[in-house]
């Protein structure tokens, strides 16, 4: 299902050779992170066009450096990345359809906006990629899963990989319905981790730690363990087993969390609920 052959971690600078212009529609949290990632990877300011009704100070500073801000149109775009809220999609796509050229690949990161909707708003021959990033994209450590429509050429797909890879790892799937489950795991996943930090803080307080110390321990433990997981070649189960001595403190805690598969079952229930909700929202 996952096509790892064209996945990447997005580490090296490699956007210096993009030929046409790259257009960003919507430079909010996600769009802003993408834009900074592109510039950091060598995309020249003069190649970038941004449409954003309320540009932040960061975007205005980029405009002063040569990024084109809110021109009437950008007809020679090689790629158009749509990063507005899904609610304004109809009006934004209508605007795009007026000037987006045949050769541009349109990459949407809007939650719940399907390939059929995007293609329908443009033209039947439009090359469209639907992508689902996640919050750590804001610090270049996200993971994005992308699905192409049938019009996306290998070159356009490679460009989409490079653009989306500016905020972290990229995976491709051929079947966009997989994006509902992706949304439930990686899209909503950061919130589950934040909840874990909240719960660990509360549990620390319950065994007598001062609240600020409990909060700090929970935050640093989750951030540190996350970083370890990121850097280690070992799978999470092995990492867990490696810190669990038989009869020790960790084993005592895991005995509670893993009793009769309780934690696994709760997570499965949560992810199933998010998958269902994602499906409903895309209908
Ligand atoms: N944040 C995440 O973790 C996350 C994860 C996965 C997917 N996404 C998707 O990413 C998209 C962007 O999310 P976000 O969190 O970055 O939202 P955001 O911060 O609200 O950014 C959207 C930006 O688009 C601008 N905009 C509105 N109408 C526009 C128009 N007609 N033309 C150009 N720009 C326009 C908005 O300006 P105003 O403020 O003036 O309205 C805003 O700056 C959403 O579709 C969301 O589903 C986000």
Contact, 162 vs 15, CB < 8 A? Answer: yes
Supply the pLDDT for residue 1: 45
**Best CA proximity match to 83, nearest among 46, 113, 123:** 113
Contact, 247 vs 226, CB < 8 A? Answer: no
Q: How far is the CA of 88 from the centre of ligand 1 (A)?
A: 9
10 Å Cβ neighbour count for 65?
10
- Note the pLDDT tens digit of each residue in 54-97: 999 999 999 999 999 999 888 789 999 999 999 999 999 999 99
Q: How far is the CA of 83 from the centre of ligand 1 (A)?
A: 5
Supply the pLDDT for residue 76: 85
Token match 């996306």: residue?
Answer: 152
- Cβ of 52 closer than 6 Å to ligand 1, yes or no, is yes
Supply the pLDDT for residue 12: 54
Of 32, 34, 50, 52, the residue with max ligand 1 atoms within 8 A of its CB, to mutate for a pocket test, comes to: 52
Of 26, 141, 186, the residue with max ligand 1 atoms within 8 A of its CB, to mutate for a pocket test, comes to: 26
Supply the pLDDT for residue 10: 44
Gap between the terminal Cα atoms of the chain: 22
Nearest 5°: CA angle at 180, between 167 and 225? 50
- Angle between helix axes 211-231 and 189-206 (nearest 10 degrees) is 140
Contact, 121 vs 40, CB < 8 A? Answer: no
Atom index in ligand 1 nearest the CA of residue 92 equals 31
Supply the pLDDT for residue 2: 44
What is the secondary structure of 68-122 as a DSSP string? EES-S--TTEEEEEE-S-GGGHHHHHHHHHHH--TTPEEEE--TT--HHHHHHHS
Kind of pairing between the strands at 168-173 and 2-8: antiparallel
Residues 6+ apart with CB under 8 A from 238: none
Mean pLDDT by 10 residues, the chain (283 residues): 44 77 96 96 95 96 96 90 97 93 94 95 96 95 97 97 96 96 97 98 98 98 97 97 97 97 97 95 79
Contact, 229 vs 239, CB < 8 A? Answer: yes
* C-alpha to C-alpha distances, 38 to 48, 168, 264, nearest whole angstrom: 9, 11, 38
Kind of pairing between the strands at 2-8 and 68-69: unpaired
Q: What is the rounded distance in angstroms from the CA atom of residue 251 to the CA atom of residue 245?
A: 7
Q: What is the rounded distance in angstroms from the CA atom of residue 33 to the CA atom of residue 56?
A: 12
Q: How far is the CA of 256 from the centre of ligand 1 (A)?
A: 41
Supply the pLDDT for residue 13: 52
Q: How far is the CA of 260 from the centre of ligand 1 (A)?
A: 42
Of 28, 106, 109, 113, the residue with max ligand 1 atoms within 8 A of its CB, to mutate for a pocket test, comes to: 28
Contact, 129 vs 146, CB < 8 A? Answer: yes
Residue nearest (by alpha carbon) to ligand 1 atom 27: 84
Token match 């950008």: residue?
Answer: 74
Residue nearest (by alpha carbon) to ligand 1 atom 38: 54
**Best CA proximity match to 8, nearest among 191, 127, 115, 159:** 159
Supply the pLDDT for residue 75: 76
| Residue 87, CB-side half-sphere exposure with 13 Å CA sphere | 0
Contact, 8 vs 169, CB < 8 A? Answer: yes
């Amino acid at each position: 299902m996952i096509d790892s052959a064209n996945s990447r971690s997005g580490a090296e600078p490699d956007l210096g050779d993009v030929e046409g212009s790259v257009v960003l529609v919507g430079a909010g949290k996600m769009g802003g992170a993408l834009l900074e990632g592109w510039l950091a990877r060598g995309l020249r300011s003069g190649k970038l066009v941004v449409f954003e009704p309320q540009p932040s100070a960061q975007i205005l500073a980029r405009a002063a450096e040569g990024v084109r801000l809110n021109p009437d149109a950008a007809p020679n775009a090689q790629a158009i990345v749509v990063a507005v809220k899904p609610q304004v999609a109809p009006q934004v796509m209508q605007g795009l359809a007026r000037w987006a050229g045949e050769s541009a690949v349109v990459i949407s990161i809007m939650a719940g906006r399907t390939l059929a909707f995007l293609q329908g708003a443009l033209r039947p021959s439009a090359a469209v990629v639907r992508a689902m990033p996640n919050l750590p994209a804001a610090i270049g450590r996200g993971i994005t899963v992308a699905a192409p429509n049938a019009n996306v050429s290998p070159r356009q797909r490679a460009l989409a990989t490079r653009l989306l890879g500016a905020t972290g790892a990229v995976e491709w799937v051929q079947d966009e319905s997989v994006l509902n489950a992706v949304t439930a795991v990686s899209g909503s996943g950061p919130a589950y981790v934040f909840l874990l930090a909240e719960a660990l803080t509360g549990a620390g307080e319950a065994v007598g730690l001062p609240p600020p110390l409990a909060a700090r321990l929970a935050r640093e433990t989750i951030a540190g363990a996350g970083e370890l997981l990121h850097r280690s070649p070992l799978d999470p189960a092995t990492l867990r087993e490696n810190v669990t001595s038989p009869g020790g403190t960790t084993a005592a805690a895991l005995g509670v969390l893993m009793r009769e598969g309780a934690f696994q079952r709760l997570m499965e229930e949560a992810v199933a609920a998010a998958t269902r909700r994602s499906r409903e929202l895309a209908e």
